[in-house]
Amino acid sequence: MSSRVAKGIGSLLLAAALITVFVEVARRGSHPIPRRPRVTGPRRGPGQAGTLPGQFYGRVVGVSDGDTISVLYGSGEVRVRLSGIDCPEKGQAYGTRAKLFTSQAAFGRNVTVQVVDHDRYGRVVGEVILADGMNLNHELLRAGLAWWYRQYSSDRELAGLEAQARAEQRGLWSDASPTPPWEYRKRPATPRRAPAWP
């Protein structure tokens, strides 16, 4: 008899817990959870203060492509564009491999971001240092999965890493004539075809 009573009480407690969960879900559905505040950093220039230090530490929670990640810092996510390099775009050869490389190296891991600048999209531009001390920007170049972004960087070390990967035909340099992403982005978008109706 006592085991039946215990089972009945257990069932009632479970039902009460489920009702509480459903009520909470319904309540949040009518009042959406506020989005995390966007963390912004300092822009270069006189008198422009920001909320990010010149270097910060956080966990990588997103990888948009080979050279853009999201880092959890404070109460928000900071989008970080790797400085001095440009990885192939998603539609380009080696674009998927570059994203996979960055994901395997950094996703879910803590990194140090050394802030260099801010770009026009509001992203932090910086160097990403992995937990083992490796520089992700350098490793992408070394693997032949990025170009040295000459237009925005005068870093001779990056130039040397690209030249070495090119000479050894690593990654994208194994192609006869790889297209730099900045040229690929200038191409007009292919118009989408309308569906054919029967």
For this structure, is 183 an active site residue? no
Of the residues 123, 127, 139, 142, which is catalytic?
123
The answer to whether the CB of 79 falls within 8 A of the CB of 120 is: no
Of the residues 77, 81, 142, 166, which is catalytic?
81
For this structure, is 123 an active site residue? yes
For this structure, is 81 an active site residue? yes
The answer to whether the CB of 53 falls within 8 A of the CB of 115 is: yes
Of the residues 27, 38, 79, 89, which is catalytic?
89
Residue 21 CA to residue 75 CA, distance in Å, equals 25
> Please, what is the end-to-end C-alpha distance for the chain in angstroms?
70
Q: Which long-range contacts (CB under 8 A, 24 or more apart) does 154-160 make?
A: 155/84, 158/84, 158/85
Complete DSSP assignment for 76-137: EEEEEEETTEEPPPTTSTTHHHHHHHHHHHHTTSEEEEEEEEE-TTS-EEEEEE-TTS-BHH
- Please give the C-alpha separations between residue 170 and each of 34, 88, 102, 176, in angstroms, as whole numbers: 45, 14, 16, 12
Which amino acid would we find at residue 165? A
Q: Which residues are catalytic?
A: 81, 89, 123
